[in-house]
């Protein structure tokens, strides 16, 4: 069994209205050092796979087919064997 | 005209669409539940507004996998008419039947109000009864109508006159102050390349009878009637 952690954010080229609003809220709280906020999504997926390579193929396929919308989002993932 | 209204779990404008088809347009209309694998042979398929699957993951993202969607795609591939309104538009984007994607409204709030739209293309089955540049008053009700796409896609939409409706003033002026959700190029509704699929965020089915405060939306159904008859 493998555990995948997927982080999804809007592409750099896509304006993030949620992130901007959070940034403004941070500024109004006095966090003047906050300069940029991007809001994203987080998935934890447990994958039944025989080895690291096949788990990696599966999580990529899941991201590409459902978890993210490639028109506006991009993702990174971290994959570890479950203990 | 024979029309089909597809019902997803969470659709909430299906009855409005059905009512307009049946009682206003006197069309032969039926509902089809999203689990059906086929559609009755019809001229027009309507994907109604609502919150299919609770808007889980992304708006329209799960509805795309409903069994009926393959039949919807076949219907469109055969050149027959398909309109997606609000959540229906979001589903068409997720299904790849129209290009682009939706983001949260720039205000982050759900906006429910009447807005003016400028009709920028009339050379299609949905707006052939309109005058080019004509403005109409139609309600919107959405939290994610902030249409976006990459530069190449936008250029394609512009060059091939696929942008049917833009948010505008009553006089037809566009600008940030008239765009409720921040959509790219003030887009409110777009066509596919074959011009038989329209997605739009505003709700013509809520503005097809004067008793509901306006009937500007009725012209879309009347245009479709012309297209189907010809």
Which stretch of DSSP H or E encloses residue B159?
A: helix B151-159
Q: Give dist(CA B68, CA B75) in Å, integer.
A: 11
* Block residue for tokens 């009553």: B170
Asked if B146's CB is within 8 angstroms of A13's CB, the reply is no
Give the residue numbers of B marked as catalytic: 86, 203, 205
The CA distance from A80 to the nearest CA of chain B, in Å, is 24
Domain ranges of chain B: 2-229
Could you say which of B57, B103, B107 has the minimum Cβ distance to residue A72?
Answer: B103
> What's the ipTM?
0.79
Assigned fold of B2-229: Rossmann fold (3.40.50)
Cα-to-chain-centroid distance, residue B156: 19
Which of A12, A65, A69 should be substituted to probe chain B, the one whose Cβ sees the most B Cβ atoms within 10 Å? A69
Asked if B217 and B19 count as a contact pair (C-beta separation under 8 A), the reply is no
User: What whole-number distance in Å separates Cα of residue B165 and Cα of residue B167?
Assistant: 7
CATH of the domain at A9: 3.30.1280.10
**Partner-chain contact A17 B103, CB within 8 Å:** yes
Q: pLDDT tens digits, residue range B32-47?
A: 999 999 999 999 999 9
Between the alpha carbon of residue B173 and those of residues A66, B176, B180, B188, the distances in Å are 39, 10, 14, 14
DSSP per position, B196-220? -EEEESS-GGGSSBGGGTB-TTHHH
Where does residue B26 fall: left (phi above 0), alpha (psi -120 to 50 degrees), or beta otherwise? left
> Which residues does chain A have within 8 Å of residue B146's beta carbon, measured at their own beta carbons?
17
Q: From residue A27, how far is each of A31, B12, B25 by CA, in Å?
A: 5, 39, 53
Average pLDDT (A50-68) is: 95
The answer to whether the CB atoms of A72 and B61 lie below 8 A apart is no
Q: Check residue B142 and give its pLDDT.
A: 97
Structural domain of A77: 2-81
Measure in Å the smallest separation between the Cα of A33 and chain B Cα atoms: 24
Residue B206's CB is within 10 A of a number of other CB atoms, namely 23
Distance CA B164, CA B156 (A): 13
Query: E-assigned strands of B70-229?
Result: 81-85, 101-103, 111-119, 135-142, 146-148, 163-168, 187-191, 197-200
Counting one residue from chain A and one from chain B, the pairs whose CB atoms sit within 8 A come to: 37
Number of domains within chain A: 1
Please check the confidence at residue A32 and state whether its pLDDT lies above 80. yes
Instruction: Using an 8 Å CB-CB cutoff, list chain B residues near A66.
Output: 57, 61
Residue A13: pLDDT band with limits 50, 70, 90: confident
Q: Does residue B75 register a pLDDT over 80?
A: yes
Question: How many angstroms away from the CA of A49 is the closest CA of chain B?
Answer: 24
């Amino acid at each position: 069994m493998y555990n995948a952690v997927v982080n999804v954010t809007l592409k750099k080229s896509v304006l993030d209205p949620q992130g901007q609003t959070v940034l403004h809220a941070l500024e109004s709280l006095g966090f003047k050092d906050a300069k940029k906020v991007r809001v994203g999504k987080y998935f934890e997926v447990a994958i039944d796979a025989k080895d690291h390579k096949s788990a990696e193929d599966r999580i990529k396929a899941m991201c590409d087919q459902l978890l993210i919308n490639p028109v506006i989002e991009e993702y990174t993932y971290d994959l570890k064997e479950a203990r | 005209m024979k029309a089909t209204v597809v019902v997803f779990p969470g659709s909430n404008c299906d009855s409005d669409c059905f009512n307009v088809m049946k009682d206003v347009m006197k069309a032969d209309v039926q509902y089809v539940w999203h689990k059906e694998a086929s559609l009755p042979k019809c001229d027009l398929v309507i994907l109604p507004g609502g919150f299919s699957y609770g808007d889980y993951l992304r708006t329209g993202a799960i509805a795309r996998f409903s069994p009926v969607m393959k039949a919807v795609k076949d219907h469109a591939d055969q050149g027959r008419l398909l309109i997606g309104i609000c959540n229906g538009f979001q589903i068409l984007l997720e299904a790849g039947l129209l290009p682009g994607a939706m983001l949260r409204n720039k205000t982050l709030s759900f906006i429910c109000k009447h807005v003016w739209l400028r009709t920028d293309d009339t050379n299609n089955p949905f707006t052939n009864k309109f005058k080019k540049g004509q403005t109409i008053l139609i309600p919107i009700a959405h939290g994610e109508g902030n249409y976006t796409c990459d530069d190449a896609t936008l250029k394609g939409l512009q060059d091939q006159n696929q942008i049917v409706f833009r948010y505008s003033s009553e006089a037809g002026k566009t600008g940030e102050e008239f765009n409720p959700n921040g959509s790219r190029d003030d887009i409110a509704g777009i066509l596919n390349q074959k011009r038989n699929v329209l997605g739009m965020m505003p709700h013509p089915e809520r503005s097809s009878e004067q008793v509901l405060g306006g009937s500007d939306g009725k012209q879309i159904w009347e245009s479709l009637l012309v297209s189907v008859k010809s």
